[in-house]
Structures are given as structure tokens and as C-alpha cells.
Structure 1
Amino acid sequence: MKRTLQRPVVPGVGASQPVVTPIMPSVVYASESPDALDAQYEGRVKGHTYAREGHPNADVLAARIDAMEGMDGGIVTGSGMAAVTAVLLGLCKAGDHVVGGNQLYGRSMRMMAEDLPRLGIATTLADPTDVAAVEAALRPETRMVLIEVVSNPTLRVADLDGIAALCRARGVLLVVDNTFTTPAAIRPVEHGADIVLHSVTKLLAGHSDVTLGWVAAVDPEITARMRVFAVTTGLTASPFDCWLAERGLATFGLRFARTQDTAQRLAAHLAGQPGVRRVLYPTRADHPDAARAQGLLQGQGCNMVSFEIEGGRAAANAFAKGASGIAFAPTLGDVGTTLSHPASSSHRALTPEGREALGMSEGFFRVSVGLEDPEALLACFDDGLRAAGLV
């Protein structure tokens, strides 16, 4: 894959050009005549009209993520869930059917379980690690399959190649949420995805100070349909957030490499501690999808680690309090490590039995590893285990 250096694609001042993209917060853009405005709306000339329909900072950010994913024409939205919404509601109609992975992000799961059926769009959840389960869920009216490469929060690895082949054979769109894995680990379009989306809020921006999404389709007509829906419904990205995210992308490669290295160390460390029932990390030999992870991710494990401790909710409370140097927060991708408890946050809407069936007990935690000194981070986890009476 050819890599190119990118500079801000913005007008210069005189004979020079800014090294940093300017923030362009204008809501409206003036045109010289009705004919000139027609030319913009009809795509004969490049320009902006109204910020809800697009603005320069979103254009610059979209182009950079497009290049990372090997795609064109991406849409920047006001959040990751706005990108999910642009796909599901921008492309589906009453009478359609959608298959989703059974461990999607919590709000994506809610949309599948409650919002789409309310609008007449049927949904089915299936295990994305089992292509036969996904095939069994398909119907004649199935419009698309939505999966994550690595599931949230149990880090199971989807049979992406198998599902892509199935979707091609059945004429169904394959939508891949690449937030966890990022294009540093995998480019889903190279494995047959039709649509790829991100919560840019997370690892791409990387500093917990923006809320953004991105989505693109291989077929430009599908991207155009999503863009019209996003503009109509106001799934608009802030110029300032776009500017901050572009700044975050400048260090993305460095952050990804450092946090991945530390995540591997943390997974190995936790696996050796008493009171830790299991540790989930894609590159570990004891991961249930280790062989598939090696093939798909080519040795990349990313920055997420999940683990389960003994002692139920009481031990979980004690652990979270005892690991006081780690932010207990339902997010990921920050420069600092964050600890999440799915039973009380992202998957709280499921019944205890439903969570247990998916492997999320009261002692189950998800970790987004940050940039701290690795030894200090391991010591902080040990503090949590001691506070829970496990070591």
C-alpha cells in the first residue's frame, strides 16, 4: 500500500500555505450568483453552502480517514452512532431485515433491538464468529449484515472473510464497524466489506475531547444516499471537533503501537494473577479465536484487554476503587487507560442471564490501554486486585 504525506488542503495566504489546517467555523458560505450556486449543488464545481451540508474541516478529516481505510468519499458525522444511524436508517426501509453481530456496541444493540423494529425494520442477532449462524439468520428480505471485526466487550474475532463471501453470494451489504481494530490492524474493504464505519471519538482522535464518526461505502451511490440522509437529519460534525480529530490523527500510529505493546504486557500480567478467571486478548494462544485473529489481524492485538475476576459485583466494586490510578469510565481510546464494567454500563440493558450467555459476568471488565508507563500501570492493576482480596 502506497503511503503519502498529507498537508492541509486549504487556501494559502499570498505565496505561503498554513502548516496547520485553520479552523473554519462559518455556518454559511456566500456564492456570487444563482448559477454559481447551481454549479455547486450539481457537483460541477467544488464549494460549500451551509455547514450542515459540509464544511472544509470535515472535508480535510474525511480525506485523511479515507486514505487510512483505502476508500473514497467518506462522510464525517457528529458521533459514531450518527455514522451507524446513517447506515441503518439511510439505507433501510420498512420491510427490510438487518442481521447484527450479537456483541455489538451497546447502543448499536439497542438500535437493533428497539429502534429499527419500531420503524418496521426487522432485526436478528447472530454470532459473527460462526458464519453458519449468520447464514441461518439471513432472510430473502435481508438488506445488510452489521458486524465488528473484534467484538465489544469480549474481544471475539468475527469470521470476516467467511461472512463477506456469504454476503456477496446472497447480494447482502456487509457493514463493518472498525472502531476497535482501526485501519492500523485491518482494512475491512480489503476483505470484502461494502461499508466501513468508525467512532472517530475513540482511537483515531484519541484524546477524549471530540465526538465524531466516519462512514464510507465502496459504491459511491450508496455513500451519496447516506450523505443525503445525514445532511437531512442533521448528523453534522463540528468544525472544531474535526480540527481536533485531525490533530489527533497526527499521532495515531505512535499511540496505536505504544498502547498495543502495553496491552500485550497487561494481558500476560493479569493471566498470571490469582483471582483472575480469564484474560481475553486476540494474540494470546488461549484466546478462543487465536488462529483467526492471527490470519485477519496479522499479529496485531490492538489496545483492548478484557478479563474476569472472582467474587462477583462486590469484588468488582472493590477492584474499581482500589485501582485508583485508572479512570473508571465507559469509553475507550483515550491517552490514559480506562476501565469499563459492561454489566453496569454498555450492556446493562441485557438481563443477567443474557450477559452471562455472552460471557459478561459481574466480575467482567474491559480495559482500554493508554500511554502510561507500563510498570506503573501493572502496579495499579495489582492494587485493584489486592483491594478486592484476590492477591
Structure 2
Amino acid sequence: MRPDPLPASLSTPVVTPLMPSVVYASATPDELDLQYEGYENGYTYSREGHPNADVLAARIDRMEGGQGGVMTASGMAAVSAVLMGCLAAGDHVIGGDQLYGRSLRLMAEDLPRLGIETTLADSTDVDAIADAMRPNTKLVLIEVVSNPTLRIADLAEISALCRDMGVLLAVDNTFTTPALLKPFDHGADIVIHSVTKLLSGHSDVMAGYVCARDPDLNARLETFVVTSGMTPSPFDCWLGERGLLSFEVRLDRAQSTAARLADHLGSHPKVSRVLYPGRDDHPEAARAKALMGGQGGNMVSFVVPGGREVANAVARGAEGIAFAPTLGDVGTTLSHPASSSHRALTAEAREALGMPEGFFRVSVGLEDPDALIAVFDRALDGVPG
């Protein structure tokens, strides 16, 4: 039996309703045809799309300047949809060599198994990307601010190179967010987000987003997401929309505190290096300022010289801060790439990328800045020597 219709009402909800139905009923086969063929809007089966996903995607579309973006079950699902949906056996893809650890793993281990050639290159140097180009290169995937080393990609030159070579450019905009940078404005063909992170901002959502500038390519990506079962749940999308409503306020507070924390750590005697895009000593400070309008974001990375004993001391000493491999929460989190996101790399490989054992990444939240700085001071006081 079909469900009873909703009660009639002159008023409307001020919050988007949560619509968890898996199945949607149509009156006739003709009605179903009209929906599947795009003549009428409607829903059939939630894996193929549902209202909460469309509401959230439309909000992110407006932020990014895109159209027809697709929600996925995670940020990595969005990355996978781009790589699998755009590439075939015999194609070649270039990835930034400081991508998120799982993105690196996907490119290094899974794509070659499927006959897709991969090369990792330094995205801060357009010449390195150019040297990696081949006749069969179809796609370049970069993060403008790399995870976790916070290096800044040469977006303008890479975009120009990809355009000249007829190669797609995909930008993972998770760290920068559309508040700091809109990749479509800089020539990107595809924009990716882990909505799990800053956009939702409460560590209770697992979702991703992908949007292509070209409608035909966007349709291909959507088809792959639906076919491979990457669609997120209505509840995650509903929570994601809830988080998005406070996104800009959260980011403003967090990056203000992050700038203060970075300056404090930069003068601490037990810290050998601080990376923050808003500091003048950042390796790509001028580029960061040009791309992000002087903003630095909410992520800070730093190095404490020493091995695992030192790393354990810092993590233990940072009482009140979650030691967890995530970012973008309302609470500050501390991450250690050597034991989490980049654990699959050898110590030598991590060292080459600028991530020694004492490297930490901080996702700054909404705490009182003075209280947060005091926590890090206590943690560093516990470091031997």
C-alpha cells in the first residue's frame, strides 16, 4: 500500500526534513520513464539519489560556483569516483606527491592493478608536473594545500599546463574550502571535497562531494557513483547541511586561533619547524597569499626533533586535545601522520616529504586561544631534553 499523504499545512518547516525513505513510488510505468529520462523531477531508489543529498549538493554548488554536484559516501569515495570515472586501462594520471595518504595509496597500489599508469610529482613545482606528462596522461589530481605538510600547489601554472595539454585538472579543496579558494575560478575541471571535515565540522558526518565543470563529465561521475553504490545516507546529508550553516563562522574563529598558535609554536625552543600558510616563513608564502587572499586556514603543522618517544610524549601531554586522525571538528585535534594517514610509507619516504617522526598536524577548533596555547606548552614541556 502507498503511504498516506502528509498533512496539509499553510506553514513550512524552517529546517530541511530528514527523508530516510529508500524507495519512492510512482503511479505508472510512464511516470517512471519521465523521471529516468529527465523530463520530470522525481526519485526512485535512494542509491540513485534522494532529497537530502540534492539539498546539500546544491548548497555546496552555490559555494563553489558549480552546478549539478554529486554527494558521495566519503571524501575518498569522491576521489575514487573521479579516478575511476574518468580513467580507463592504458591511461596515465599524475598526482601530487603530498596528497592525503589514502589518495596516495589508491594511486600507488590500486590504479596500477587496474592497468592505469600513475606518477606522483611535486605539485609546488609546475616543472615537475610537466616532466611527468605523457602522451596518455588524462588527469592531474592535486590538493592546493597539501595534507599534512601544508605546502601550496602552483595552481595557476598547473592549470595553464593542463589546459594547453588537454588534460583534466581535479582539485581536492578539502583543506582550503570555498571560503579560501574556489578552484573553478582558477581553471580546475573538477572539484572534490571531504564534507566530513570542515564543511560539516562536527565529526559526526561521513560524506563527500564532487562536481565537474563539464555537464557531460558530471553525468559520467554521477553514473559511476550510483552504479558503485557510493551514495551517502539521507541522515549524513541532513547532518552535513546542519553543519554547513555554521561553516563560515566556525572557519573564521578557527583560523584566527590557528594563526596565533602557529606564531607561538614558531618561537618555542622545542619546535624546530612550523608550517602555516599565513606565515611569512612558509615556503610558498607569496603564493598562499595570492591564492587565498591572505587567509591561512585552520591547519597548523609543526616538528619536534626526536623519535617515537618524543612523539608519544607530545601526544600524551596534550591533555584535553583529541589525538585523532581527523580535522575540521569544533574541537582541536592532533594528528601524527607517521602512525596514521601516512603509515603505509617508509620512514625514509616520509622524511623525503618533510614528515619526520616528530611531525604533527593540528586541526584548530573553537577553543579559547590562550587555553589552547597553554595545552601545547604543557605538552612540549614534557618532551625529553
Bucket of the pairwise TM-score, normalised by the shorter protein: over 0.9
Q: Which of the residues 182, 196, 199 maps onto 1:201?
A: 196
The offset of 1:15, in angstroms, is 1.8
Question: Do the aligned partners of 1:12 and 1:18 also contact (CA within 8 Å) in 2?
Answer: no
* Aligned pairs (5 A) from 1:76-95: 76-95=71-90
Query: C-alpha distance in 1, partners of 2:122/2:196?
Result: 26
SS of residue matched to 1:136: helix
Write out per-residue CA displacement over residues 312-341 of structure 1, whole angstroms, 9 at most, x where no aligned residue: 221110111011111100000011000000
TM-score (norm 2): 0.98
2:299 corresponding residue in structure 1: 304
* Aligned mate of 1:213, from 208, 212, 222: 208
CA distance in 2, matches of 1:106, 1:256: 24
The one-letter code of the counterpart of 1:146 is L
Task: Name the CA shift for 1:164/1:12 in 2 (closer, same or farther; >3 Å).
Answer: farther
1:270: which partner in 2?
A: 265
Q: Which amino acid aligns with 1:229?
A: F
Structure 2 letter corresponding to 1:113: A
Partner of 1:154: helix, strand, or coil?
A: coil
Amino acid in the other structure paired with 2:148: P
Structure 1 SS opposite 2:301: strand
Q: Which amino acid aligns with 2:69?
A: G
**CA offsets per residue over residues 187-241 of structure 1, 9 Å max, x none?**
0000000000000000000000010000000001001001111101100111000
CA distance in 2, matches of 1:155, 1:13: 52
SS in 2 for 1:15: coil
Equivalent residue letter for 1:239: P
Would you say 1:333 and 2:328 are equivalent positions? Answer: yes
2:290 aligns with one of 287, 295, 309: 295
Q: What is the 5 A alignment of 1:335-350?
A: 335-350=330-345
Distance 1:320 1:59 in 2: 40
When normalised by structure 1's length, the TM-score is 0.96
**Amino acid aligned to 2:212:** A
Distance, in Å, in 1 between the alignment partners of 2:208 and 2:177 is: 13
Q: C-alpha separation between the residues in 2 aligned to 1:159 and 1:250? A: 31
* Secondary structure at the counterpart of residue 272 of structure 2: strand
Residue equivalent to 2:250: 255
SS state at 1:339 partner: strand
Runs of 4+ in 1 over 6 A off after TM superposition: none
Distance, in Å, in 2 between the alignment partners of 1:156 and 1:12 is 54
Whether 2:15 is the aligned partner of 1:15: answer no
Q: Distance in 1 between matches of 2:292 and 2:68?
A: 25
Matched AA of 1:331: T
Aligned to 1:99: 94
Q: Could you tell me which amino acid in structure 2 is paired with residue 366 of structure 1?
A: R
Measure how far apart 1:389 and its partner are: 3.4
Aligned-residue offset at 1:34: 0.6
Give 3-state SS (helix, strand or coil) of 2:112's partner.
helix
- Checking the alignment, whether the CA contact within 8 Å between 1:267 and 1:305 is kept in structure 2 is yes
- Percent identity among equivalent residues? 70
Partners of 1:293 and 1:210 in 2: CA distance = 29
Cα-to-partner distance string for 1:77-117 (whole Å, 9 max, x where unaligned): 00001101110001110000000000000100000000000
Q: CA deviation at 1:311?
A: 2.3
- Which residue identity is paired with 2:109? E
TM-superposed deviation, 1:13: 4.5
C-alpha RMSD of matched pairs (Å) = 1.0
What is the number of equivalent residue pairs in this alignment? 380
Unaligned runs of 5+ in 1: 1-10
Tell me the distance in 1 between the aligned counterparts of 2:71 and 2:152: 26
SS of residue in 2 equivalent to 1:46: coil
Write the deviation string for residues 12-43 of structure 1: whole angstroms up to 9, x where unpaired. Answer: 94222111000000000000111110000000
**Superposed displacement of residue 300, structure 1:** 1.0
- Give 1:283 deviation, angstroms: 1.2
The equivalent of 1:121 in structure 2 is 116
Aligned pairs for 1:1-391 (under 5 A) are 13-389=8-384
Distance in 2, Cα, partners of 1:85 & 1:273: 40
Amino acid in the other structure paired with 1:386: D
Deviation per CA, 1:292-312, whole angstroms, max 9, x where unpaired? 001111111000000001222
Output the CA distance in 2 between the equivalents of 1:312 and 1:71: 45
- Secondary structure of 1:235's counterpart equals coil
Secondary structure, aligned partner of 2:269: coil
